[in-house]
Amino acid sequence: MNIYWEGFRTFFKIGCFTLGGGYAMIPLIEEEVVNRKKWLTKEDFLDLMAISQTLPGVFAVNFSIYIGYKLRRLRGSLILALGTILPSFLIILTIAMFFATFADNQIIAAIFKGIRPAIVALIAAPCINLARAAHIKLTNVWLPVFTALAIWIFGVSPIYIIILVAVGGFLYGKLVQPDNK
Amino acid sequence: MIYLQLFIAFFKIGLFGFGGGYAMLSLIQGEVVTAHHWISTSQFTDIVAISQMTPGPIGINSATYVGYAAASNAGFSNGMAILGSAMATFAVVLPSFLLMIFVIKIFHKYHNHPVVNTMLSVLRPTVVGLIAAAALLLMTPENFSTPNESAWQFYISIFLFLVTFLGTQVMHINPIRMICYCGFAGLLLYY
């Protein structure tokens, strides 16, 4: 089978089943790409995880770009990324076109009144697990607290905070602990 | 020029969206609700809800939805609104392309470099702060009501918030199922 078509189909399938955000589909991608298609070795896959977590942007798309590039350079990455994006693009576009007419419906409005507080809770909840994974201790707990308050109370754009922290981290790593291996 | 604005806003979101879907939320909200007023806070929460229930990354979903809604609210026809949707989606993934291909070429040289590691060790806790901010920004009267405006809705909202938080964290209930329960509660209590 044509490698472009096979890559597109594989990532279209992954895009269709990415319920609940990027991290949920890591096992799915590993099964397809490492075990079944053998496009990447296990070591490649771990490298790819590191890169995708380091870089900004949508996790699943970063994955498909990397694998596509490994397979067939730029054209491969374009086709695989398109496969990942297309399912959600089509589904959301359909919803966007009809949601306005639904939103005024009394029943839909009542359902969404119940759902909204739940969504806020779902966003707040991962903070606890992630705080553990990010090694937050007494020495660096000011970073997330300062970040959250600056955005919430003072309306600072998150973009400035990310730039500030990245530059601060760079200078700290370069000047304060240059021998740290 | 709405298309150019959409392109710039979502290019920025793609470029600075570190730490995955939830961390991107405060960025997306900053651009589309606070800066450009393309959609309201409650519409934004609805998009997050829809994103949770449909497949696909939140970054793509919100770009697709907001691109359509913004062009449509600006008075463009359906076809032109679909173009806005495609434009925003393209803009949010473009930085990934540029950065990813750049990094593939230099990655093995700088992987595990001490300076890169230090940068990552400060960016990770910051990302937790970004997610917390996204949650705090959504705790608005639009989403929760207020005791004065509608005490009934306010206390139900607080209750559903707590139940969802504990249900997913302590009892490990599937989030999608939790959303369905809350939607059903809303239907029973408000309709």
Q: Is A119 domain-assigned?
A: no
Q: Is A97 domain-assigned?
A: yes
Least confident of A37-51, B8-22, B147-161: A37-51
Q: Is A112 domain-assigned?
A: no
Give me the percent of chain B exceeding a pLDDT of 90: 34
Structure tokens at A83: 């496969």
Residue A96 and residue A139 in one domain: no
Q: How sure is the predictor about B90, in pLDDT bands with cuts at 50, 70 and 90?
A: very high
* Greater pLDDT, B174 or B78: B78
State yes or no: pLDDT of B131 exceeds 60. Answer: yes
**Average pLDDT of chain B, as a whole number:** 87
To test the contact with chain B by mutation, choose from A113, A136, A165, A172 the residue with the greatest count of B C-beta atoms within 10 A, namely A113
What DSSP designation does A105 have? S
Residue finishing a domain among A46, A71, A103? A103
Q: Is A49 domain-assigned?
A: yes
**Average pLDDT of chain A, as a whole number:** 83
| Range A87-110 burial, b when 16+ CB lie within 10 A, else e | bbbebbbebbeebeeeeeeeebeb
Please check whether residue B114 touches A, CB under 8 A: yes
Mean pLDDT computed over B58-86: 89
Q: How sure is the predictor about B156, in pLDDT bands with cuts at 50, 70 and 90?
A: very high
pLDDT at B92: 94
Q: Is A94 domain-assigned?
A: yes
Residue A99 and residue A35 in one domain: yes
pLDDT at A25: 64
Q: How sure is the predictor about B11, in pLDDT bands with cuts at 50, 70 and 90?
A: very high
Angstrom distance (rounded) from CA B84 to CA B86: 5
Nearest CA in chain A to B127: A144
To test the contact with chain A by mutation, choose from B25, B65, B100, B190 the residue with the greatest count of A C-beta atoms within 10 A, namely B100
- Supply angle C-alpha A132, A138, A143, rounded to 5: 75
Residue A143 and residue A72 in one domain: no
Residue A18 and residue A68 in one domain: yes
Residue A173 and residue A134 in one domain: yes
Q: Which of residues 130-159 of B touch A (CB under 8 A)?
A: 130-139, 143-144, 153, 156-158
Q: How sure is the predictor about B67, in pLDDT bands with cuts at 50, 70 and 90?
A: very high
Q: How sure is the predictor about A28, in pLDDT bands with cuts at 50, 70 and 90?
A: confident
ipTM: 0.78
Residue A91 and residue A41 in one domain: yes
pLDDT at A163: 86
Cross-chain CB nearest to A118 (options B15, B131, B178): B178
Residue A31 and residue A92 in one domain: yes
State yes or no: pLDDT of A53 exceeds 70. Answer: no
Residue A15 and residue A92 in one domain: yes
pLDDT tens sequence across A67-115: 999 888 889 999 999 999 999 899 999 988 887 777 778 888 888 889 8
Mean pLDDT computed over B123-135: 84
pLDDT tens sequence across A137-161: 888 899 999 999 998 898 888 888 8
pLDDT at B23: 76
Residue A7 and residue A83 in one domain: yes
pLDDT at B108: 63
Residue A74 and residue A12 in one domain: yes
Cross-chain CB nearest to A136 (options B12, B25, B128): B128
CB contact under 8 Å between A91 and B55, yes or no, is yes
* Residue B6 to chain A, least CA–CA distance (Å): 16
Least confident of A10-24, A42-56, B65-79, B127-141: A10-24
> What domain range includes position A178?
127-181
Q: Is A118 domain-assigned?
A: no
State yes or no: pLDDT of A181 exceeds 50. Answer: no
Number of structural domains found in chain A:
2
Give me the percent of chain A exceeding a pLDDT of 90: 19
Least confident of A57-66, A155-164, A172-181, B180-189: A172-181
CB A16: neighbour CB atoms within 10 A? 17
State yes or no: pLDDT of A22 exceeds 60. Answer: no
**String of DSSP letters for chain B:** -HHHHHHHHHHHHHHH-TTSHHHHHHHHHIIIIIIT-SS-HHHHHHHHHHHHHSSS-HHHHHHHHHHHHHHHHTT--HHHHHHHHHHHHHHHHHHHHHHHHHHHHHHHHHTT-HHHHHHHHHHHHHHHHHHHHHHHHT-SHHHH--HHHHHHHHHHHHHHHHHHHHHHHTS---HHHHHHHHHHHHHHHH-
pLDDT at B3: 92
Least confident of A157-166, B15-24, B60-69, B173-182: B15-24
pLDDT at B51: 79
Give me the percent of chain B exceeding a pLDDT of 70: 96
Residue A31 and residue A91 in one domain: yes
Q: Is A114 domain-assigned?
A: no
pLDDT tens sequence across B99-127: 888 888 776 667 677 887 788 788 888 88
Residue A15 and residue A83 in one domain: yes
Q: Is A121 domain-assigned?
A: no
CB contact under 8 Å between B160 and A91, yes or no, is no
* Residue B20 to chain A, least CA–CA distance (Å): 6
pLDDT tens sequence across B15-43: 988 766 777 888 888 899 989 999 889 88
